[in-house]
Amino acid sequence: MNELTTYSMYSKNLNLDWNYGIHLPKNYKPNMPLLVLMHGAFGNQRSIEERFHLSDYLHKNPINCVILSIDGFNTF
């Protein structure tokens, strides 16, 4: 997976679909470190990808970790 792929999961407690993006490096292993990216106020799980071209950066500068980008809505 060379780009941030967006998924959604339903939260019964919040009664809504929670969106998130994940980037798995080409050499993915289950025990890799996890880097969680939060977009800040006014954005979504794709904001970092769209503003900073994360997939392009990672293609040129691969890092050995899983990157998770969550949608915090406007609550951060």
Instruction: Decide: helix, strand or coil at residue 56.
Output: helix
Q: Which residue has the higher pLDDT, 15 or 70?
A: 15
Residue 55's φ and ψ, nearest 5 degrees, are: -60, -40
Strand partners, 22: 5, 68
CA distance 49 to 51: 6
Query: pLDDT digits over 53-76, tens only?
Result: 777 888 888 888 998 888 876 665
pLDDT for residue 30? 92
Asked if 11 and 18 touch (Cβ cutoff 8 Å), the reply is yes
Query: pLDDT digits over 27-57, tens only?
Result: 899 999 999 888 766 667 677 777 777 778 8
